[in-house]
Structure formats: structure tokens, C-alpha cells
């Protein structure tokens, strides 16, 4: 009943003039669109990671749309960015959100690009809705379960942060330094901390719900069909997400899986090594991205 009620919420219609970006009453996801399709390349859907937003891939989306003469969408995941908040965040729901969005836009085939949590979304769409996916690029993520509790610890630290008495985002970063060691990671997460007009701060992401669904976010559903989609798994050479066990599991679930390391990149590959990331993305799409 709780999940049904959350799905029946009617989001506030928001439009930012000059950009194709708004929240819809059907798919409910906020997005930015780049380009016009004038080629055989299937449209791209960029899916950001946890605590991210549609702006994370905007530079690459704009560039690939122009160079391949197709359209490209950067989408805010539920409970993130300008998309509405819901009371649940199961991985299967995130995948179905993508499918609903694509259908609403009239997209028959898409090239998916997903980072981290967005990568898991993309993996599930490939497996559960293969008819929709032309190809997929999964960035520093694998269709596997993660047992570490770092995400839970980060969420706890963020929930305990007294945002009502903060003066600056820098102060928030300093207060979190013991729990979230990497400054770049703190700054990325704290991009969700927005200053309220008239004073004070608020979270742009639905931190309460995210913290309740960390087990599902870290996991991956059982009994998922094998995907035969052309899929490139890009991983950072300095990231600890890639392990031999996860590669083996990925090969079991993706019959056409390819793997490519981006040297010098950590978990956020497209920010750490943007040119190398873009080159790998474009090369793969030139081989696999046309209908």
C-alpha cells in the first residue's frame, strides 16, 4: 500500500525555459535533452550515480549528440535532482522508471550509459527489456552484490549533519571529514546541499529514503535473465570496484560483455579522465550504437 501511494503522487510540473528540462506527470523524471536525431545512431540515455544528477554527464551528452547527430538525454533518477521524491527505491523500480521514460519519449531503441547506481539500472534494463536497448556502456559498476557498509556509514553521517545551523558548504565538508575521507567524494555528495532563500540549507536528494534502501542499492536481484546486449564495462584503473569475481559474474549475465580499463581514473571515470572516457564511449558507439 505504501508503494502504491508513492506512485500516485502527482509531482509539481516544472519547466525551465530555454532547456528541454522538466518533471513529467507520467514518467515523473526530470531530464535535459541535447541534439536532434539525424542519423542511424539510436538516442542516448545517460544515467547518473548515487547522489548525482543529470548535470554529471551534460558535457559528454552535448558533445556526443552533436558529433553523432543524434539526440541524447540526461535523466535525474527518482529521489535525485529535480525528479520527484518517492517512498521507495528498489533497483527494479529504477529500471522500470527508465523504461517508462523511454516509452513516453517515443524511443524505440536507446543506447544506455550508466555510472555506478545508473550502471545497475542499465544492467537491469538490458536484462528485463532487451527489446529497448541497442547497446549499453556501464561505468565502474557490475551486475553484482556489494557487501561493504560504506554507503550505510556515509548515509548515517549525512543524516546526523545539522544542516539547519550550517553557515557554508565548506563547514559541512569539514564536519564530515572524519567519516568521508576523500575531499572530492565529500564535495560530490555535498553538491546535493542547497541553500534556502532566506537562510538555511536543504537536501536536494531524498536522503531519508536512500538511507532506508542501501541494502537494495548495494545488492542485485537474483534470477535475472542473461542479457545478449552489446555492453561495454568501463572501469577506473584506480577504482576498487573491479574485481575478478565481479568480472566473472558479469560474463555470466552478459554474453557479449566487453571490458576496458581507463588508466588514472577512480570511481567517477567520466570526471577523472573525461577525454579517455569520451573516446572509449564514442569508439564503442561507432561499432554498436546504430540501429
Residue 26 has what pLDDT? 52
Those residues whose C-beta lies under 8 Å from the C-beta of residue 160, and which sit 6 or more positions away, are: none
Residue 280 grid coordinates: 572509449
Q: What percent of the chain has pLDDT over 90?
A: 84
**Ramachandran angles phi, psi of 56, nearest 5°:** -60, -35
Consecutive H or E run containing 201: strand 201-203
Helix (H) or strand (E) holding 124: helix 117-128
User: What is the dihedral sign for C-alpha 32, 56, 72, 144?
Assistant: negative
Give helix then strand counts, H and E, for the chain. Answer: 12, 11
Coil, strand, or helix at residue 202?
Answer: strand
Condensed to tens digits (0 to 9), the pLDDT of residues 194-234 reads 999 888 899 999 999 999 999 999 999 999 999 999 999 99
10 Å Cβ neighbour count for 245? Answer: 10
- Residue 280 to residue 291: CA distance in whole angstroms: 19
Contacts of 74 (CB under 8 A, 6+ apart): 31, 32, 34, 46, 48, 54, 55, 56, 57, 58, 61
Average pLDDT per block of 10 residues along the chain, 291 residues long: 37 31 56 97 98 96 98 98 95 97 96 98 98 98 91 94 92 94 89 89 96 96 96 96 94 98 95 97 98 87
262 CB-side CA count, 13 A: 27
Specify the DSSP element, H or E, that contains 102. Answer: helix 91-104
Its pTM stands at: 0.89
Q: Write down the pLDDT at residue 21.
A: 34
> Would strands 44-47 and 72-75 be described as parallel, antiparallel, or unpaired?
parallel
| Under 8 Å between Cβ of 219 and 249 | no
Between vectors from CA 147 to CA 146 and to CA 153, what angle results, nearest 5°? 105
Are 74 and 55 contacting, i.e. CB atoms less than 8 angstroms apart? yes
pLDDT at 200 (0 to 100) = 87
Amino acid at each position: 500500500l505504501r508503494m502504491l501511494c508513492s506512485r500516485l503522487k502527482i509531482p509539481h510540473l516544472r519547466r525551465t525555459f530555454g532547456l528541454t528540462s522538466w518533471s513529467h506527470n507520467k514518467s515523473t523524471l526530470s531530464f535535459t535533452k541535447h541534439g536532434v536525431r539525424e542519423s542511424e545512431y539510436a538516442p542516448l540515455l545517460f544515467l547518473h550515480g548515487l547522489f548525482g544528477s543529470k548535470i554529471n554527464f551534460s558535457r559528454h551528452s552535448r558533445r556526443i549528440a552533436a558529433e553523432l547527430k543524434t539526440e541524447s538525454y540526461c535523466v535525474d533518477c527518482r529521489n535525485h535532482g529535480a525528479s520527484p521524491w518517492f517512498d521507495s527505491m528498489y533497483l527494479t523500480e529504477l529500471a522500470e522508471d527508465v523504461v517508462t521514460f523511454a516509452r513516453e519519449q517515443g524511443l524505440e531503441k536507446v543506447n544506455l550509459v550508466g555510472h555506478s547506481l545508473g550502471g545497475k539500472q542499465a544492467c537491469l534494463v538490458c536484462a528485463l527489456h532487451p527489446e529497448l536497448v541497442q547497446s549499453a556502456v556501464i561505468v565502474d559498476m557490475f551486475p553484482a552484490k556489494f557487501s561493504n557498509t560504506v554507503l550505510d556509514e556515509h548515509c548515517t553521517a549525512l543524516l546526523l549533519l545539522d544542516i539547519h545551523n550550517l553557515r557554508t558548504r565548506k563547514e559541512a565538508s569539514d564536519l564530515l571529514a572524519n567519516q568521508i575521507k576523500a575531499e572530492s567524494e565529500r564535495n560530490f555528495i555535498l553538491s546535493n546541499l542547497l541553500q534556502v532563500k532566506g537562510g538555511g540549507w536543504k537536501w536536494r536528494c531524498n536522503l531519508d529514503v536512500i538511507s532506508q534502501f542501501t541494502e537494495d542499492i548495494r545488492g542485485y536481484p537474483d534470477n535475472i535473465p542473461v542479457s545478449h546486449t552489446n555492453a561495454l564495462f568501463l572501469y577506473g584503473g584506480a577504482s576498487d570496484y573491479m574485481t575478478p569475481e565481479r568480472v566473472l559474474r558479469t560474463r555470466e549475465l552478459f554474453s557479449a560483455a566487453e571490458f576496458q580499463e581507463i588508466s588514472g581514473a577512480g570511481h567517477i571515470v567520466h570526471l577523472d579522465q573525461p577525454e579517455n572516457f569520451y573516446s572509449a564511449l564514442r569508439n564503442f558507439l561507432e561499432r554498436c550504437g546504430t540501429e
